Structure 1
Amino acid sequence: MSSAENDLYQEVVLEHKRAPRNFGHLPHPTHQAQGTNPSCGDRIAVELDLQGDRVADIRFTGHACAICMASTSMMTEAVKGRDVAAAKALQQHFRAVLTGEEEPEEAPLGKLISLAGVRQYPSRIKCALLGWHALMHAIAQDGSGSTETVISDQEPV
């Protein structure tokens, strides 16, 4: 990672940690899920208002490291107002970039590309993916309650 890329990565992470977007609770979520990473203590809850196949609104709460908070904050910006299929595709590309399966320049990530630097720190990949795991679990539920996902050290990212 070049010095300029590293600087951008650090700026983006710090900005979203200081002022996370879409942080807080939805008044009436239709879907929700929590994600926990017991190895570091990160805990994120994602609440959705799904209208048909569209993410009409999304919020998150939790206590987590800067990378987890920044990634989840950016995720909410990226999926809000989009259809569920687009959110799932974006999650797959983001995960593939972080795990080295896809080159950042080839992935349609938009602003999320600035988090590609996380792949240089394998122990932090789960931090960057925790909010995304919670999002996917929330989407997958039938809307009747909330689910919790725990990312363990044995689980592949």
Structure 2
Amino acid sequence: MSFNNHLDTLYRQVIMDHYKNPRNRGVLEGDSVDINMNNPTCGDRIHLTMKVENGKIVDAKFEGEGCSISMSSASMMTQAIKGKTVEEALTLSKVFSEMMQGKEYDDSIDLGDIEALQGVSKFPARIKCATLAWKAMEKGLYTNKQ
């Protein structure tokens, strides 16, 4: 088995782990940024809540339904943005978007598990699945600038 096949297998395992054991599943109560988005072409939907204090995302949770790519991406995204400043989260989203589009991206930024979604860029119909949670996060942060 080649290195790329091993990598693909590992990436699939990471995606399925986040899908079957989602991190940060739920809804934040109280004063939080609250966004609902869906992808009408495939039926994926997400409800994202984030607590932002002093320009920092102190917590993030999601609920929703959809394919393994959209739900695992939401799990990975909520993990990645917790503790980040709004600017850092938006930069991470930009890097993720560039990766999804198959463009050159700043690989000095540690994507962690998110890198497992890199192969999705080869399937244009699935890119919207992977980016749904990220678009929700961007919308929430831009419309709730403090």
TM-score by structure 1 length?
A: 0.85
**Equivalence for 1:10:** 12
- Quick check: 1:31–1:141 contact (8 Å CA) kept in 2? no
Return the offset for 1:141: 1.9
**Equivalence for 1:37:** 39
Q: Distance in 1 between matches of 2:108 and 2:137?
A: 20
Q: Distance in 2 between matches of 1:114 and 1:77?
A: 14
**Equivalence for 1:65:** 67
Q: Distance in 2 between matches of 1:133 and 1:19?
A: 22
User: Unaligned regions of 5+ residues in structure 2, if any?
Assistant: none
Percent identity between the two aligned chains:
35
CA deviation profile, 1:49-82 (whole Å, cap 9, x unmatched): 1001000110000011100000110000000011
Letter in 2 for 1:94: F
Number of paired residues? Answer: 142
Which aligned runs of 4 or more in structure 1 are off by greater than 2 angstroms? none
Q: Distance in 2 between matches of 1:79 and 1:125?
A: 20
Q: Distance in 2 between matches of 1:11 and 1:128?
A: 16
Which one has more relative contact order, counting CA pairs under 8 Å at least 6 apart?
1
Return the offset for 1:110: 2.6
Return the offset for 1:131: 0.3
TM-score by structure 2 length?
A: 0.91
Letter in 1 for 2:15: V
User: Unaligned regions of 5+ residues in structure 1, if any?
Assistant: 144-157
Letter in 1 for 2:48: V
CA deviation profile, 1:16-37 (whole Å, cap 9, x unmatched): 1101000001121421111110
